[in-house]
């Protein structure tokens, strides 16, 4: 398939109040990022409210969930929220969906919802996409699916517009290439955008990211992890181009902690 042009996103939660959140949205737009992506957790403001505010504070920035966890809503409720955001942002919303991390079990219980089996959570994602397509009518909400396991990769190939490669942080390039092959096989002739979130830019990991990943920078480097991007701007640009050539990854997101550090790459590669 022809290579897609690069675009870039920033992952951020509205954790420090409205002014900080809106400043992040405006800065992402100023720096040329395509999207502002918001995580989903009961510990954070709901993505629905946060993303609507971010879109209202900007003019062209796209906004997206990264990702709505299927245990925290019924499929119909998730579709309702997604279609509503498509309407109020005038088509600037991208719906990210995933089965949720293990801690979502407790959060689902707080909401009075079942956590469900792995298959049930995947079925909920599939149903959400179907509901969104029905609600959208002539509109089209782009759907991203976080594809970590083989069943998720198959579903993403069948129904997603964007697939985030969500393997473990120590997944090898060879393994990732196999995952991409599975997704492409399921997609057939459907046109997909492949995405990846990069956890670390440079040689130092912020403490909270280090705790989340459970590995240090040295381990990432030793394993040639795709979760880290290092070197000068030329080296990092070359590495991103390699990933697009070998894996088809053209949509790259980074944590807001690296929004300024990563900006030169956004300027150099966006649209190319």
pLDDT in tens, 156-205: 999 999 999 998 899 999 999 999 999 999 999 999 999 999 999 999 88
Q: For 104-120, b where at least 16 C-beta lie within 10 A, e where not — what string? A: beebbeeeebebbeeee
What global pTM score does this model have? 0.96
Side-chain-side CA neighbours of residue 60 (13 Å): 8
Q: How confident is the model over 80-96, as pLDDT tens digits?
A: 999 999 999 999 999 99
What average pLDDT does this structure show over 3-28?
Answer: 94
Q: What residue ranges do the domains of the chain occupy?
A: 7-269
Contact in structure between 65 and 44 (CB atoms under 8 Å): no
Residue 233 has pLDDT above 90, yes or no: yes
Q: Taking a C-beta distance cutoff of 8 angstroms, is the pair 82, 142 a contact?
A: no
Q: How confident is the prediction for the chain on average, in pLDDT?
A: 96
pLDDT of residue 237: 98
Distance CA 211, CA 209 (A): 5
Q: What is the percent of the chain with per-residue pLDDT over 70, rounded to a whole number?
A: 100
Domain boundaries 7-269, CATH class:
alpha beta
pLDDT band at 2 (very low <50, low <70, confident <90, very high): confident
Write down the pLDDT at residue 205: 87
Alpha-carbon span 247 to 198, nearest angstrom: 15
Mean pLDDT within 121-132: 98
d(CA 129, CA 145): 10
Q: Is the dihedral of CA 17, 29, 141, 117 positive or negative?
A: negative
**Residue 262 near residue 13 (C-beta atoms within 8 A):** no
pLDDT score recorded for residue 143: 98
Q: How far, in Å, CA of 214 to CA of 245, rounded? A: 29
What 219-225 contacts at long range (C-beta under 8 Å, 24+ apart), as own/partner pairs, is 219/170, 220/169, 220/170, 223/170, 223/172, 224/172, 224/173, 225/169, 225/170, 225/171
Residue 83's pLDDT is 98
Confidence of residue 120 (pLDDT cuts 50, 70, 90): very high
Distance CA 144, CA 164 (A): 7
Three-state SS at 179: helix
pLDDT, tens only, 91-114: 999 999 999 988 899 999 999 999
């Amino acid at each position: 398939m022809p290579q897609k042009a690069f675009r870039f996103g920033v992952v951020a939660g509205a954790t420090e109040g409205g002014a900080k959140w809106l400043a992040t949205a405006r800065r992402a737009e100023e720096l040329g990022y395509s999207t502002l992506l918001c995580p989903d957790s009961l510990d954070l403001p709901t993505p629905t409210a946060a993303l609507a505010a971010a879109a209202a504070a900007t003019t062209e920035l796209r906004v997206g969930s990264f990702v709505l966890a299927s245990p925290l809503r019924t499929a119909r409720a998730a579709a309702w929220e997604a279609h509503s955001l498509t309407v109020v942002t005038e088509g600037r919303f991208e719906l990210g969906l995933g089965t949720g991390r293990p801690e979502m079990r407790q959060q689902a219980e707080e909401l009075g919802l079942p956590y469900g089996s792995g298959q049930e959570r995947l079925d909920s994602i599939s149903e959400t996409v179907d509901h969104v397509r029905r609600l959208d009518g002539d509109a089209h909400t782009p759907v991203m699916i976080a594809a970590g396991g083989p069943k998720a990769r198959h579903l993403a190939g069948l129904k997603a517009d964007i697939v985030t490669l969500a393997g473990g942080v120590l997944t090898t390039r060879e393994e990732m290439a196999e995952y991409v092959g599975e997704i492409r096989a399921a997609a057939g002739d459907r046109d997909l955008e492949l995405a990846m979130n990069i956890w670390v830019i440079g040689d130092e990991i912020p403490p909270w990211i280090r705790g989340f990943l459970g590995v240090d920078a040295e381990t990432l480097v030793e394993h040639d992890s795709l979760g880290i991007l290092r070197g000068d701007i030329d080296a990092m640009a070359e590495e991103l181009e390699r990933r697009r050539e070998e894996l088809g990854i053209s949509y790259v997101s980074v944590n807001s902690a690296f929004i300024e550090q990563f900006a030169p790459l956004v300027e150099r590669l966006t649209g190319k």
